[in-house]
Structure 1
């Protein structure tokens, strides 16, 4: 064991939050509680229910104490995570469902809770969207807290770490763990579990804490107290680095930190080309905790606010008041910049069980997004009224997802007008002049973009799905990943069709897919005529750097030439060659 501890070891995982961190490994116990099912005689069942409800109560006390601590450390705008966990803790499906299993199956409380968690897991497992599938982690985190109280297993708080320059090594970390991290003492973390779109990873990026996740077995390695380097950009971990490796990573870290500081100098500078053309650079967000990072990186508002989180982790639907409070919080914190809210974009089979919709063979192309909203107008209207009311707190725009034809747009706008009339009649203030748009993400919408443009105030192109549907590629299928090609001639022509149709009708065209945050694609999108780009906050300065060194006239010529090529490989080769020649210093 001694020799193993002295060897240099390299591990690879998923780069969840960019940056390089150098420090000492601190293994923290976040292992799952092992649950053994045991039969309980009838006379002891009430005692098991009491054990479970007592653990619920202690868990609630934990979260309330955390809420107070986080408010003092980071401010009230970061309490959404804890509030979400308190909501899960109070959920009737979690509480009553577990009690029912104890009483019906005659099993110990731990086993009943674990069985109940498995039901939640099934609920989330089939979700097509990475962001939404990862939300199961929040339920799992709450359940783990309850289990630890039932078995008497200590839950070490991250803010109790008082040594400096520690790198946390854990089986998993919760969003509340990230909120407790003091960057002077905890400089990064690595975990066995997790994905790039988990709530924990999103917060790590928002707070700029380097992180590598998905290492599977890093916690079984004997590394506690050893020097460790993590590269959150490449997903690499080096334990016990040699002096040469240490110096190499120290140089890389200094270079990375220098470039980040230089990029942040662009924060308050206008997003405008050398020949005077402006583009609005905005952020995609899911949680209020991401707003400080958005502002800190110079974001000009929110180009995509995903609302699905409000509908997840629960058997019941959020009411209008709950939604209004959530939207108003975002809008108030982003004001005076605009917030663009997307209405519900997920299939009913993956939502709250109150929707009572049947299973589908292909939910990705089934009753989801605007189709679901129009099928369930009471759910749709509750959300629309909440958005309209939030419009009084700042600048709000709303848009409808997965539009495939004119009828859907007109039907959605008719429901919106009904909601306006209901609020007006009730004397409730709302935004009378709210802008409405649609997502362009299916091929039929591209084909009739000129017709759709007459119906709305703006387009927002969701390239993730547009590329997937246009090229018939499941982007989550590792065998087909090489065919997911943003620069495919069909995609470039589709984007040109959409941008041209928008401008011919006098409306704006925005992009909120992953393509928008890739600096390499900026000249293409500029040349195509996109007015707004929305991306993760950390991407904004990099994109702005290219934009401020570009000329729109050059970008238009670049696009004209790119459109002459027949294959994605030819386009990519040409674009990379042109971009590296003109902006080589911007891709350090």
Structure 2
């Protein structure tokens, strides 16, 4: 580039802004841009490659290559030097391009063997849009100033693409955020829904990437950064009583907010001709790009902090976000990178669905979504990049698919599916008050899972006979501090009042693993699912356990009370926990408080070890509930959070059903009531087979009771037992194929 790089850079950006303001069609606009860049850089070639799809780059405009190659030349992600830049998000600057690893000569473009090559990723806050390339015959490395100037130009091109500036003839030039997109994720809560996107943290759209007055932009940036620093200091001051780890995070936050290097780089960007917003976003994009290359979790977390600070700074500069006054649509589907349980509860049942870019099936958000019966898909990659507020969205919580801005064909098929489900729900409503009695006269008791007061109305509307599992951890997870005993007494009493004469089984605090209390020091464990969690925490911190038990006894106020301890792995743990119940009962008696007129103390069987406990355990326990989700993952040694393995193993595997049958037999010997609780209890075919093994009580989400009851009432358990026995005799791995064949044969 000629001397006076800075002024040339500003001159180029000014000319780019003129192109942005022109009324030309997208292709003509892009053609002018590559001519401007080649002229300014003094190179023979300037080309722009944009993504046609996630794996394919298309030559969309060029100065110096054959015009007929435009929209015809395509490269796979990673192919050639251009593909390498696109895949890694890193600059390639070389004086001898043919000698570079992965070089690909493209004769169809009329490309001579240009020696020099400079490839810059066109990206916007982690969203890879394409590659900007300049080439020259002269063998030379481009200077740091030239690389920097072209990065600034690439930043502006990314913003122009975001604003739909390149709509044109080529498919790759379609405007962003206007095309239909299908994203696959992981089902964390089943169900289907249709609505419009409501972004938890709306993406900031920079509409003025180029600015004329650098002094004014520097002033805007300085004021915004000062406002950001004041906000971070206030957060820190308000959190002085928080635990050490939480304070360390906020201190890191403050360190970044006061980073002189970060500020200096943004000031340099503004000097080159960018607006304050574009300067912030350029540094944010670079941080995102570095984040993808870093494996160290600590460094990734720190880069994530910088990313979050950049978002806050952008919202201050643009006034976009909550301050815009945008109204939530009547049918909101929440889209977010991730979200905490308290924030999700604030939205409540207004949401039609939830789609998260991160998260897991056992996360706090998933727990709340299940409690609210809202379809939830997690691990939906790029959803926050692709979606804008108000976009039409369809959530298929059965298949784990999100349709964003769907075309008419998808809309018709999806609505047909929803209509069929609605029709089925009407059929289920007709049998709501009828027992789940099979054709051979066996009655299965169907109960519902709950975790919020808002769940309780479903007791009557679903036809549930009681609450087989009430998750008590949500009242702990959604607060910034430990709830008071008096608050828990009031809450548990309201639950019992709402349930009336129907039985409610309260599961004591099930924390640890993926459920960490925000005010409790987290424990760094290599495998938290097998670590310090549930009853193990309760027995090691008996004060918390006793406080919760006291609250339950006082809330019962003389009524029947059923308490269940989670994750019991051996008889001794149950005996120790039951001893705590008796201590609480004795203490309440001495205080003259009313005692439950009937007390049941049960255990969740979630580990294979408890299935093989001494028979005296089964004699002593008042009831057992099989926690199917955990039992299955430990039985198969397959983490249910791991998509690579969790679907490899079937609940209807003969070995797993044999374990269930053994538990049924041992409970029968002692006359111990047994139930099965978990996702599989609410799946009709799985529920049918569990009933055939001898399970007589199932607990599930309220929406599953109708489908499960409908199938049970039409089935003969004796026939299903014979199918299972025959499959075992044949050596089948799973009884599913045989059961499905029998169901089809019987309509």
Once the two structures are TM-superposed, the CA of residue 440 in structure 1 deviates from its matched residue by: 1.7
Once the two structures are TM-superposed, the CA of residue 227 in structure 1 deviates from its matched residue by: 5.2
Whole-Å separation in 2 of the counterparts to 1:413 and 1:222: 51
Contact 1:191 1:218 in 2 (8 A): yes
Quote the residue 2:740 is aligned against: 576
Moved more, 365-374 or 515-524: 365-374
Whole-Å separation in 2 of the counterparts to 1:362 and 1:353: 19
1:452-531 to 2 correspondences below 5 Å: 452-531=617-696
Report SS of the residue matched to 2:543. helix
Contact 1:188 1:210 in 2 (8 A): yes
- Per-residue Cα deviation, 1:79-98 (whole angstroms, up to 9, x for no partner): xxxxxxxxxx9994289966
Calculate the aligned-residue CA RMSD, in Å.
Answer: 4.5
Once the two structures are TM-superposed, the CA of residue 171 in structure 1 deviates from its matched residue by: 5.4
- Per-residue Cα deviation, 1:193-247 (whole angstroms, up to 9, x for no partner): 5555555556656666556554332343376666554433323344554444443
Quote the residue 1:132 is aligned against: none
Moved more, 311-320 or 443-452: 311-320
Once the two structures are TM-superposed, the CA of residue 543 in structure 1 deviates from its matched residue by: 0.9
Whole-Å separation in 2 of the counterparts to 1:441 and 1:149: 49
Contact 1:449 1:502 in 2 (8 A): no
Whole-Å separation in 1 of the counterparts to 2:695 and 2:325: 44
Indicate which of 378, 381, 386 corresponds to 2:551: 386
Decide whether aligned partners of structure 1 residues 208 and 149 sit closer, same or farther in structure 2, where only a CA change above 3 A counts.
Answer: farther
Larger Rg: 2
Decide whether aligned partners of structure 1 residues 91 and 519 sit closer, same or farther in structure 2, where only a CA change above 3 A counts.
Answer: farther
Quote the residue 1:321 is aligned against: 486
Decide whether aligned partners of structure 1 residues 334 and 156 sit closer, same or farther in structure 2, where only a CA change above 3 A counts.
Answer: farther
- Per-residue Cα deviation, 1:119-153 (whole angstroms, up to 9, x for no partner): xxxxxxx9xxxxxxxxxxxxxx9xx9999899976
Once the two structures are TM-superposed, the CA of residue 363 in structure 1 deviates from its matched residue by: 4.3
Contact 2:449 2:467 in 1 (8 A): yes
Whole-Å separation in 2 of the counterparts to 1:95 and 1:19: 40
Quote the residue 1:13 is aligned against: 185
Moved more, 345-354 or 385-394: 345-354
Quote the residue 1:86 is aligned against: none
Whole-Å separation in 2 of the counterparts to 1:96 and 1:466: 32
Decide whether aligned partners of structure 1 residues 203 and 150 sit closer, same or farther in structure 2, where only a CA change above 3 A counts.
Answer: farther
1:327-476 to 2 correspondences below 5 Å: 327-347=492-512, 360-392=525-557, 395-448=560-613, 450-476=615-641
Quote the residue 1:234 is aligned against: 399
Whole-Å separation in 1 of the counterparts to 2:187 and 2:519: 37
Whole-Å separation in 2 of the counterparts to 1:315 and 1:100: 16
Once the two structures are TM-superposed, the CA of residue 541 in structure 1 deviates from its matched residue by: 1.2
Once the two structures are TM-superposed, the CA of residue 439 in structure 1 deviates from its matched residue by: 1.7
Matched positions, count: 506
Report SS of the residue matched to 1:279. strand
Whole-Å separation in 1 of the counterparts to 2:375 and 2:696: 32
Contact 2:363 2:515 in 1 (8 A): no
Contact 2:449 2:470 in 1 (8 A): yes
**Structure 1 residues without counterparts, runs of 5 or longer:** 35-45, 58-88, 112-125, 127-140
Indicate which of 220, 242, 261 corresponds to 1:93: 242
Whole-Å separation in 1 of the counterparts to 2:252 and 2:411: 58
Q: TM-score, normalising length from structure 1? A: 0.71
Whole-Å separation in 2 of the counterparts to 1:91 and 1:313: 20
Indicate which of 17, 30, 43 corresponds to 2:201: 30
Asked if 1:253 is matched to 2:408, the reply is no
Whole-Å separation in 2 of the counterparts to 1:166 and 1:397: 38
Report SS of the residue matched to 1:93. coil
Contact 1:51 1:150 in 2 (8 A): no
- Comparing both chains, which one has the higher relative contact order based on Cα–Cα distances under 8 Å and sequence gaps of 6 or more? 1
Once the two structures are TM-superposed, the CA of residue 508 in structure 1 deviates from its matched residue by: 0.9
Once the two structures are TM-superposed, the CA of residue 250 in structure 1 deviates from its matched residue by: 3.2
Quote the residue 1:175 is aligned against: 344
Contact 2:200 2:334 in 1 (8 A): no
Decide whether aligned partners of structure 1 residues 232 and 312 sit closer, same or farther in structure 2, where only a CA change above 3 A counts.
Answer: closer
Report SS of the residue matched to 1:438. strand
**Structure 2 residues without counterparts, runs of 5 or longer:** 1-163, 169-173, 206-225, 261-296, 298-307
Once the two structures are TM-superposed, the CA of residue 324 in structure 1 deviates from its matched residue by: 2.5
Quote the residue 2:709 is aligned against: 544
Once the two structures are TM-superposed, the CA of residue 277 in structure 1 deviates from its matched residue by: 2.4
